Amino acid sequence: MTAKPAPDSVIDALSIDCLVFGFKDGRLDILLIKHGEGISEGRWALPGGWINYGESIDDAAKRLLHSLTGISNIYLEQLKAFGHPDRYPTKRVVTIAYFALVKEEHYSLIPGFTASDAKWFSVHEVSDLPYDHPLILKYGYQHLKHKVRHEPIGFNLLPEKFTLLQLQELYEAVLETTLDKSNFRRKLAKMKLLKKCDEKQKDVSHRAAGLYKFDKRIYVTLKNRGIAFEL
């Protein structure tokens, strides 16, 4: 990298957009906010905003998500930068998209000052997003499909304690397929990543299933031993 920027080599602005996935009642959701100000006022779009000067881009994503929706302390990773020259109408804006997974039950949404509203939408029913947000969604959903098979991140979409059927339904929803119950359990059991709680489901109108937790400590040890997660 050279040090002197050429006179015409400046981007007008660098923004952040967050693609937040949630899972509830067998449905895969994404979180949108209704913009209270700016160009896309009144439209549902990905939560986002501008990076501050002394702030890392990861921190900016955390701050923006929290201030727009009240959500904090979740699985968050950088997805990709999107920078087509025409992606934003009035000027040259490059955006860095973030990818987040949320335990939906744990958060009641609190719209922040630039968001007049925040709401969960089914991934498959979202449409009419502004800018290149449809592209970001498509890319991010592909990323989720891939990542969920190669790393144990699905648990970030479920409550702390969950049943094996819930987990299976999550995978079925994300991967848009059906899985054999028995084989799914066998595979999970072999990985030894789940710790059985001494608890069962409550308030269900059938035999109660046992509750499990994802044990991150075990995963880290296995990973360090070179054992990969594949599903």
Partner DNA sequence: CTAATATATGGTCATTTTGACCACAAGTAA
Partner DNA sequence: TTACTTGTGGTCAAAATGACCATATATTAG
For residue 118, list its beta bridge partners. 33
Q: Are 200 and 210 in contact (CB under 8 A)?
A: yes
Q: Are 106 and 26 in contact (CB under 8 A)?
A: no
Of 90 and 127, CB closest to a copy of itself: 90
Q: Which does 76 bind (CB under 5 to 8 A by kind): DNA, a copy of itself, none?
A: none
Q: Which long-range contacts (CB under 8 A, 24 or more apart) does 159-162 make?
A: 159/103, 159/105, 159/106, 160/103, 160/213, 161/197, 161/199, 161/211, 161/212, 161/213, 162/211, 162/212
Of 124 and 187, CB closest to DNA: 187
Cα dihedral across residues 123, 127, 128, 134: positive or negative: positive
Q: Which does 164 bind (CB under 5 to 8 A by kind): DNA, a copy of itself, none?
A: DNA
8 Cβ contact partners less than 8 Å away, ≥ 6 residues apart: none
In the shown chain, the binding pattern of residues 145 to 164 toward DNA, with x for contact by CB under 7 A and - for none, equals ------------------xx
- Binding status of residue 167 toward DNA by CB under 7 A: no
- Binding status of residue 180 toward DNA by CB under 7 A: yes
CA distance 89 to 198: 56
Provide the minimum distance between the beta carbon of 95 and a copy of itself in the complex, in angstroms, as a whole number. Answer: 7
Element (H, E) at 121: strand 115-122
Q: Which does 83 bind (CB under 5 to 8 A by kind): a copy of itself, DNA, none?
A: a copy of itself
Residues that bind a copy of itself (CB under 8 A): 1-17, 35, 37-40, 45-46, 48-58, 78, 80-81, 83-85, 90, 92-96, 114, 131, 150, 230
- Look up tokens 């699985």; give the residue: 75
Q: Which stretch binds DNA (CB under 7 A): 30-38, 65-73, 142-150, 179-187?
A: 179-187
Provide the minimum distance between the beta carbon of 169 and a copy of itself in the complex, in angstroms, as a whole number. Answer: 20
Q: Which does 67 bind (CB under 5 to 8 A by kind): a copy of itself, DNA, none?
A: none
For residue 15, list its beta bridge partners. 50, 95
Q: Which does 163 bind (CB under 5 to 8 A by kind): a copy of itself, DNA, none?
A: DNA
The site for DNA (CB under 7 A) is made up of 163-165, 180-183, 185-187, 190, 204-210, 230
